[in-house]
Amino acid sequence: MPHLNPEERRGSAFTWAFILNISFTVIEFIGGMLTQSTAIISDAIHDLGDSLALGMAWYLEKQAGKGRSSSFTFGYRRFSVLGALINSTILVMGAILIVVRAVWWFFDPQIPDAKGMLWLAILGVAVNAFAYFKLHSSSNLNQRTASLHLLEDVFGWVAVLIGALVIDRTGWYVIDPILSIAIGIWIFFNAQKNLRKSLQIFLQGNPLSIEESKLEAQFTSVNGVNSVHDVHLWTLDGEYHVISLHMILEKDASREVIMGAKEKVRKICLDHGISHVTIEAELEGESTAPQIPAQNG
Residue 277 forms beta bridges with which residues?
243
The answer, yes or no, to whether residue 30 has pLDDT greater than 70, is yes
Of 50-64, 189-203, 279-293, highest mean pLDDT: 189-203
Report the pLDDT averaged over residues 91-118: 79
pLDDT at 4: 43
- DSSP letter at 247? E
Query: Which whole-number Å values give the CA distances from 86 to 61, 171, 295, in the listed order?
Result: 13, 40, 29
192-210: per-residue pLDDT in tens? 888 888 888 888 888 867 8
Banded pLDDT at 265 (limits 50, 70, 90): very high
Q: What is the pLDDT of residue 13?
A: 66
- The predicted pLDDT at position 297 comes to 44
Instruction: Please tell me which residue, 104 or 9, carries the higher pLDDT value.
Output: 104
Please, what is the Cα angle at 94 between 93 and 98, to 5 degrees?
120
> Does residue 27 have a pLDDT over 80?
yes
Separation in Å, CA 109 to CA 177, 178, 265: 9, 13, 65
Tell me the residue type at 203.
Answer: L
What percentage of the chain has pLDDT greater than the value 70?
79
DSSP 8-state symbol, 34: H
Give per-residue pLDDT as tens, 156-184.
788 778 878 888 888 777 777 777 777 77
Of 6-15, 143-152, 171-180, 190-199, give the range with the top mean pLDDT: 190-199
The mean pLDDT value of the chain amounts to 77
- Say what the pLDDT of residue 268 is: 92
User: Which band of pLDDT confidence, cut at 50, 70 and 90, is reported for residue 142?
Assistant: low
What's the confidence (pLDDT) of residue 11?
54
Assess whether pLDDT exceeds 90 at residue 266.
Answer: yes
What phi and psi, each to the nearest 5 degrees, are found at residue 225?
-90, 115
Average pLDDT (259-287) is 87
pLDDT surpasses 80 at 63? no
From residue 293, alpha-carbon distances to 108, 143, 228, 235 in Å are 58, 37, 18, 22
Helix (H) or strand (E) holding 241: strand 241-249
Residue 234 has pLDDT above 70, yes or no: yes
Question: Going by C-beta distance under 8 Å and a sequence separation of 6 or more, which residues neighbour residue 237?
Answer: 64, 77, 78, 80, 81, 140, 141, 201
SS3 category, 189: helix
pTM: 0.66
Quick check: 67 pLDDT over 60? yes
pLDDT (mean) for 71-79: 73
247 vs 227: CA distance, rounded Å: 6
Q: 79: how many CB neighbours lie within 10 A of its CB?
A: 20
User: How many C-beta neighbours within 10 Å does residue 147 have?
Assistant: 24
Alpha carbon distance 30, 264 (integer Å): 64
More confident residue, 190 or 123: 123
